[in-house]
Structure 1
Amino acid sequence: MSVNVLSTPVSDVLFSKQAIWQQIDDFALDALYEEINLDNKPGLVCPSGNGSHSDMNYDTFIASIQSLRGYFATLSAYGHDNKDFDDIKKAGIEQEIKMRQATNNINTHKGAIFNLGFASAAIGKCLQDNQTLTTQNICAQIVESWQYDLTHRLERKADSHGQQMYKKYGVTGAIEMVATGFQIIQNLALPCFYETLYRTQDFEKAAMQTLMTLIASLSDTNLVWRGGMVDLTNAQTMAKQFLQAGGVHQPKWRQAVSTINDYFIHRNLSPGGSADLLAVTIFFYKVENEFNPSV
């Protein structure tokens, strides 16, 4: 479905907009389901285990995702209607409260509320400006519309994990990632996903290859928080070695991932930032291929 709401007959505009907002919402939720259902992710919650987490499990994530329904549609409409940054921020805060109510105050998807929220709002802006829904255009809208607000106006809590890691190690986190337009996704993760999917025709392999590419390259504040810079380096090295050995294209790739998973669990490591960005990558893939079938 490729809909240009600006050239649609007036009587159908409202319906078309609502249909698109709902579709964006579905894609965001689908991307989160795809991420949590990817099994054997190093240190992360998945259907077969809790990874390095003792306070959450697969059911916690499913309840969390269900609590997000409608939020991404709202953010898409906000972007289209040029709502203020403060309105977007308020919607995110309210959604986090709903998420925590669904998870007994466990933070499962705060990153998704932030990352996918701004991506959804940027899609609304793209449609308002009659721009093609490509990842490049969506990310450019984020930078143009909200980079200043994200960089200079968004409160950073001094006691947050991200801010503590920035002060201690100089490692930046989700705010900077979004404010600069998801550069690691545009330049690395999404091309990896497309290439692997084209080569293997296997969504699981494409998702795992992309996750390991992110772990190998991202200064993940979740890893730094749990293990410091030494364990971040070790985690990146293991992911790089996996990729250099062929990644998911090697015959026993699942065994290789399991070995990394065992190490992460032993060291209590969880690459949550990489998992968040995997979900955003899958979301962009879904949007591009629905609205631009030739991509």
Structure 2
Amino acid sequence: MSALIARNPDLPLVERLADLAVDALIDEADLSPKPALVDRRGGGAHSDLHLGLMHASALALWPCFKAMAEAAQVHGEIGQPLREALGRIGREGEAAMLATTCGVNTHRGAIWALGLLVAAAALAPDDSASALALRAARIALFDDRAAPQTDSHGARVARRFGVRGAREEAQLGFPAVLQHGLPQLQRSRSEGAGEQNARLDALLAIMATLADTCVLWRAGLEGLAAMQQGARAVLAAGGSASLAGRRRLRALDAHLLQLNASPGGAADLLAACLFIDSLGSL
């Protein structure tokens, strides 16, 4: 998708933003080897997911992201009307995703995170990463009065363990991305790790600190500790580009698979990280 944008610089902003959002989801899915997540090797801890399904789901969300960018441009400011328009579009996007995947939840969390960031970018595409995240956070602080009153796995886990869920992460301006993922991505690049290893390191930096509700739902506090400690061990050993780090990464993958603990929340935030990073290509 990035190459497509480069060949079509005159596309409307809303289409370029939708391209970048889909590209971020596909790049996150393709990145390998990710611990216990869907990648080029297989479904990780997910028996109902595979790479082709992740690609199809991402592509099915293009109209959703375009519509969110258009809504931001139409409303022109942050407020209740924009928040509720994004909520409605997000629910329509989720329905399209589920129709494509035959009911499998592939990108529900990513619709939330990337939808906010797409809308924020449509309002002011040339801003810094921190300004973009702050604008997305301001949108997230509004309640969607039309949202169905359902109790998601993430919300239940957040209450049970007293941790931040996806909603709170967005309302705080995506600290896992701004304070950990993006800095690690840039640091690994500057150290010559190579793009794929730099992206793996960014994922690990997010995993090292995030209270991932997907992991907590599947494996409780034991799984969360395994994820965070294992991710820190990979980075401390030299990251994904080092032999010692790669050995630690394989051990982390095996441990999380044994626990059936998939860091899906971290994967969604890596996609957000890659989207923000790609905005320089606009």
TM-score when normalising by structure 2: 0.89
User: 100, 105, 112: which one pairs with 1:107?
Assistant: 105
Match in the other structure for 2:128: 134
Query: Aligned pair 1:184/2:176, yes or no?
Result: yes
Secondary structure of 1:217's partner? coil
Q: Which amino acid aligns with 2:281?
A: E
Report what 1:222 is aligned to: 214
Look up the match of 2:268: 276
User: Does structure 1 residue 73 correspond to structure 2 residue 66?
Assistant: yes
Alignment match of 2:258 (pick from 255, 266, 270):
266
Q: What CA distance in whole angstroms lies between the structure 2 residues aligned with 1:206 and 1:138?
A: 22
Query: Is 2:52 the partner of 1:59?
Result: yes
Using the TM superposition, give the Cα deviation of residue 251 of structure 1 relative to its aligned residue in structure 2, in angstroms: 2.6
Partner of 1:144: 138
Q: Deviations over 1:115-140 (max 9, x none)?
A: 1001001112225xxxx332112112
State the 1:154 CA deviation: 5.8
Contact 2:216 2:224 in 1 (8 A): yes
Comparing 77-86 and 179-188, the one that deviates more:
77-86
**Matching residue of 1:290:** 281
- Does the 8 A contact of 2:230 with 2:248 survive in 1? no
Calculate the TM-score normalised by the size of structure 1. Answer: 0.86
Counterpart of 2:22 (choices 4, 11, 29) is 29
Secondary structure of 1:247's counterpart equals coil
Aligned to 1:8: none
Asked whether the equivalents of residues 156 and 163 of structure 1 are also in contact (C-alpha less than 8 Å), the reply is: no
> Rg bigger for which structure?
1
2:40 is matched with 47
The change in CA–CA distance for 1:117 and 1:250 in structure 2 (over 3 A counts) is same
Please give the secondary structure, in 2, of the residue aligned with 1:248: coil
Distance 2:85 2:146 in 1: 13
Is contact 1:162-1:172 (8 Å) kept? no
What is the CA-CA distance between 1:156 and the residue it aligns to?
A: 5.7
Instruction: Name the counterpart of 1:7.
Output: none
Contact persistence 2:235–2:245 (CA under 8 A)? no
CA distance in 1, matches of 2:158, 2:130: 28
Equivalent position of 1:121 in the other structure: 119
How many residues align? The count is 269
CA–CA separation in structure 2 for the residues paired with 1:102 and 1:154: 22
For the aligned residues, what is the CA RMSD? 1.9
Alignment-mate amino acid for residue 164 of structure 1: R
Q: Residue 39 of structure 1 contacts residue 46 of structure 1 at CA under 8 Å; is this kept in 2?
A: yes
* SS of structure 2 residue aligned to 1:200: coil
Identify the match of residue 166 of structure 2 among 163, 168, 174: 174
CA distance in structure 1 between the partners assigned to 2:267 and 2:149 by the alignment: 22
Q: Structure 2: which amino acid aligns with 1:167? A: R
User: Alignment partner of 1:224: what SS?
Assistant: helix
